[in-house]
């Protein structure tokens, strides 16, 4: 995915400096009830490093195409947003951190390759895979029927769609279970996400129910979505369950999580027909088997979104 224009990156950096832990990640599913997010009371990243001790596993690395084994590197387009998925805890001039960062690095170590990570905006990564710009992409990409037409996925977590409101707003109750609850409201969400697709596809539900339609405002930066909520320009945010739960655990965010709406498997994304998927699946399964996977999820407070085994292109949850 293409790097953000300099002006946009500077604006985002300034926003992150003001709101280091208040915003969300982008696009997935899973219920983390009873899980306390790591670093919930701090903007800095957890200091433990479960990835450090990982070594190459020859039997898994052998599944890589010969040209990749020879080059020893893979290009990854990374959407760096907010905890716990991927964010810059110490500014954009320092390395990113987060669950997606750790899992990608862990897979690379099992495969014995180096990652050439390129920061890219969420909505540009999937289209760029087809052009060969990246070998794979990360960004909490949810597996959907529509995406499976052009993208291959190797799953690594179960996350999903949820909602959050400004703390003290009781209009939606404690949980959103039906989109008709949103009729007449303004919803903020991320560009190119499953949330935008869901809201667009289901916009007619309000008319069918004889209610005023909801309005959708799309933002390219999650920090902007949160700011819009705080300023009253939107009524509710739709984003990832893990991201919204993490955000709500930050007292300064002044948001309340309204629970899981729809589950989605989340995975590494590849162009259709990529020869890398079997190696990545085997690497994720190796991390699950040796316990590294569980330690990474515990570090980021997402243990309840764990999967038992990685899958290639599973059907979308219904």
Q: Is 211 helix (H, G, I), strand (E, B) or coil?
A: coil
C-alpha to C-alpha distance for 1 and 6, rounded to whole angstroms: 15
Helix axes 292-300, 277-290, angle to 10 degrees: 80
In Å, what is the CA distance from 204 to each residue of 146, 208, 214, 234? 19, 6, 9, 20
C-alpha to C-alpha distance for 151 and 255, rounded to whole angstroms: 34
Give the model confidence (pLDDT) of 68-100 as tens digits. 999 999 999 999 988 899 999 998 899 999 999
**H helix runs in the chain, sequence order:** 6-18, 58-61, 66-71, 99-111, 122-131, 194-201, 205-208, 222-230, 241-248, 277-290, 292-300
Provide the pLDDT for residue 44. Answer: 66
Which residues of the chain fall short of a pLDDT of 70? Answer: 1-44
Phi/psi for 218 (5° steps) reads -105, 135
Give the model confidence (pLDDT) of 259-291 as tens digits. 999 889 999 999 999 999 999 999 999 999 999
Distance in angstroms between the alpha carbons of the first and the last residue of the chain: 29
C-alpha to C-alpha distance for 2 and 22, rounded to whole angstroms: 25
In Å, what is the CA distance from 282 to each residue of 109, 135, 192, 301, 308? 13, 17, 29, 24, 13
C-alpha to C-alpha distance for 229 and 266, rounded to whole angstroms: 26
Provide the pLDDT for residue 12. Answer: 38
């Amino acid at each position: 995915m293409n790097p953000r224009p300099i002006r946009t990156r500077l604006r985002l950096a300034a926003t992150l400096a003001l709101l280091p832990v208040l915003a969300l990640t982008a696009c997935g599913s899973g219920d983390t009830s009873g899980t306390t997010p790591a670093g919930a009371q701090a903007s800095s990243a957890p200091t433990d490093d479960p990835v450090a001790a990982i070594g190459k596993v020859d039997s898994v690395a052998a599944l890589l195409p010969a040209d990749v084994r020879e080059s020893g590197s893979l290009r990854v387009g990374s959407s760096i947003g907010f905890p716990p998925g991927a964010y810059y805890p110490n500014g954009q001039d320092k390395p990113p951190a987060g669950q997606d960062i750790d899992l990608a690095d862990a897979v690379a170590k099992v495969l014995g390759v180096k990652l050439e990570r390129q920061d890219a905006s969420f909505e540009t990564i999937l289209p760029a895979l087809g052009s060969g710009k990246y070998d794979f992409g990360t960004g909490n990409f949810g597996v959907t029927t529509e995406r499976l037409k052009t993208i291959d996925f190797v799953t690594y977590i179960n996350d999903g769609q949820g909602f959050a409101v400004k703390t003290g707003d009781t209009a939606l109750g404690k949980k959103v279970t039906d989109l008709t609850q949103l009729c007449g409201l303004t919803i903020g969400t991320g560009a190119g996400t499953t949330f935008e697709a869901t809201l667009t596809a289901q916009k007619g539900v309000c008319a069918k129910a004889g209610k005023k339609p909801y309005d959708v405002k799309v933002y390219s930066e999650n920090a902007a979505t949160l700011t819009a909520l705080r300023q009253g320009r939107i009524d509710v945010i739709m984003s990832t369950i893990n991201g919204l739960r993490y955000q709500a655990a930050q007292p300064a965010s002044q948001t309340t999580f309204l629970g899981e709406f729809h589950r989605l498997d989340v995975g590494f994304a590849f162009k259709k027909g990529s020869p890398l998927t079997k190696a990545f699946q085997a690497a994720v399964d190796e991390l699950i088997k040796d316990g590294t996977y569980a330690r990474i999820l515990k570090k980021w407070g997402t243990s309840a979104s764990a999967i038992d085994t990685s899958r290639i292109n599973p059907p979308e949850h219904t």
